[in-house]
């Protein structure tokens, strides 16, 4: 840890992100085959951009909106939650946030006291770990079951609960493993939360990207869980709106004013221009979601096929959702995933994210993104085949 009296212990505890480190190193090398970023490569659909430009031209975006977001947007979100997530809501149960990430941060700030434990099925999106640490909570990483496609280990979760446990936080479909937790599993998880008076915080960023008949299930749709869930969503992935920084959360009506108290000092409100864009995203054609999904599915199949040809180097679980996968490195050098990925970058010009970035259970793995072009996947695997053979 850096010894600098100026810096808070909370921030000092946060590890530098391996994702950004790999991005930086990748920029130093020419013509890298890039599989390390989980960002949609498509541009935002035209009708969404046009709605934002119209809102600017009509002088609608120069001021703040209501802290919890434009009422018109919250009404559209409410319809979407009913249609796609089976969650009943009214606008007073919603906060429009600066992406899913700010919603998750505000929820954690509102729910977690210093020393409270938060169970995170692991490997997990590293930002979740950092968010808990920033709230002075304690992340408790509970390994998922790799041989079962990184499914939740409900017994292990039960065993890790103690009087300090306050919440369980997960993302499904998962970054980094691509796992989609089934309705049955999440019903059981809900039972555990209810028995132990725990909150559940969800990150449903990849809700629309599921394959092979696996379906996304929102734990917030279980009526008995009404008071125990904060569900976080985003426009980032569904509508290729990464840079617009717009998302939303749903929670019980009595929680919203408290979450809002945490949201305001971070953001006051989400960018108003992005809120108008989000209204257009929800009201307009949903075809882009279908197109993105089909593209990711065909890329997933290609990546799995190419991985099969490298079966002495990698073993993998088929990702049933998201656009990420998390192969295990079978070679001895894989025991240090950071060195492995740096060497892969330098010697084969392929950029992947070291598994350790997703918690200690991620070691010996690397994360690959198939949210790229088919050509990029083929280029990366042609290079890896030459490198490893
Ligand atoms: C699981 C997960 N949650 C949230 C985000 C970021 O979402 P947003 O841009 O809405 O803050 C990402 C981005 O990669 C992600 O993978």
Report percent pLDDT > 70 for the chain.
99
Closest residue by Cα to atom 2, ligand 1, is: 205
Q: Residue 188 Cα, ligand 1 centroid: separation in angstroms?
A: 25
Alpha-carbon span 160 to 142, nearest angstrom:
8
Q: Is 205 in the pocket of ligand 1 (CB under 6 A)?
A: yes
pLDDT on residue 382: 98
Task: Provide CB contacts within 8 A for 168, sequence distance 6+.
Answer: 118, 119, 120, 121, 157, 189, 192, 193, 198, 199, 200, 201
The model's pTM is: 0.96
Q: Are 128 and 203 in contact (CB under 8 A)?
A: yes
pLDDT on residue 3: 81
Q: What's the rounded mean pLDDT across residues 4-16?
A: 90
Closest residue by Cα to atom 16, ligand 1, is: 175
pLDDT on residue 1: 62
Q: Are 20 and 345 in contact (CB under 8 A)?
A: no
Which tens digit of pLDDT belongs to each residue from 147-168? 999 999 999 999 999 999 999 9
Which is higher by pLDDT, 27 or 330?
330
Which tens digit of pLDDT belongs to each residue from 217-232? 999 999 999 999 999 9
The answer on pLDDT for 239 being more than 90 is: yes
Which tens digit of pLDDT belongs to each residue from 178-224? 999 999 999 999 999 999 999 999 999 999 999 999 999 999 999 99
Q: What's the rounded mean pLDDT across residues 373-383?
A: 97
Q: Residue 205 Cα, ligand 1 centroid: separation in angstroms?
A: 6
Question: What pairs with residue 231 in β-bridges?
Answer: 202, 250
Q: The tokens of 11 are what?
A: 């921030």
The answer on pLDDT for 16 being more than 90 is: no
């Amino acid at each position: 840890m850096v010894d600098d009296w100026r810096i808070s212990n909370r921030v000092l505890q946060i590890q530098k992100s391996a994702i950004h480190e790999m991005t930086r190193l990748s920029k130093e090398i020419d013509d890298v085959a890039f599989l390390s970023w989980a960002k949609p490569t498509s541009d935002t659909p035209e009708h969404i951009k046009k709605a934002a430009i119209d809102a600017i031209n009509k002088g609608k975006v120069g001021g703040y909106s209501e802290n919890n977001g434009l009422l018109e947007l919250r009404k559209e979100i409410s319809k979407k939650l009913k249609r796609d997530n089976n969650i009943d809501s009214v606008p007073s149960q919603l906060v429009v946030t600066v992406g899913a990430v700010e919603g998750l941060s505000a929820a954690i700030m509102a729910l977690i006291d210093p020393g409270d434990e938060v169970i995170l099925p692991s490997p997990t999106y590293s930002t979740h770990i950092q968010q808990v640490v920033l709230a002075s909570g304690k992340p408790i990483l509970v390994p998922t079951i790799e041989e079962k496609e990184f499914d939740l280990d409900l017994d292990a979760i039960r065993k890790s609960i103690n009087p300090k446990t306050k919440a369980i936080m997960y993302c499904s479909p998962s970054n980094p493993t691509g796992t989609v937790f089934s309705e049955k599993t999440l019903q059981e998880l809900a039972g555990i939360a209810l028995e132990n008076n725990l909150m559940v915080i969800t990150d449903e960023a990849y809700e629309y990207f599921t394959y092979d008949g696996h379906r996304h299930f929102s734990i917030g749709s279980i009526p008995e869980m009404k008071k125990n869930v904060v569900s976080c969503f985003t426009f980032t992935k569904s509508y290729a709106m990464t840079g617009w920084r717009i998302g939303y959360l749903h929670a019980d009506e009595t929680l919203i004013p408290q979450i809002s108290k945490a949201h305001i000092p971070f953001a006051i409100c989400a960018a108003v221009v992005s809120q108008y864009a989000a209204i257009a995203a929800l009201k307009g054609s949903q075809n882009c979601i279908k197109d993105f999904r089909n593209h990711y599915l065909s890329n997933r199949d290609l990546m799995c096929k190419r991985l099969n040809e490298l079966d002495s180097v990698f073993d993998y679980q088929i990702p049933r959702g998201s656009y990420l996968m998390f192969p295990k490195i079978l070679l001895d050098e894989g025991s240090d995933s950071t060195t492995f990925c740096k060497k892969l970058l330098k010697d084969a010009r392929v950029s992947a994210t070291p598994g350790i970035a997703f918690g200690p259970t991620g070691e010996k793995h690397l994360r690959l993104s198939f949210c790229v072009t088919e050509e990029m996947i083929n280029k990366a695997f042609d290079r890896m085949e030459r490198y490893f053979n």
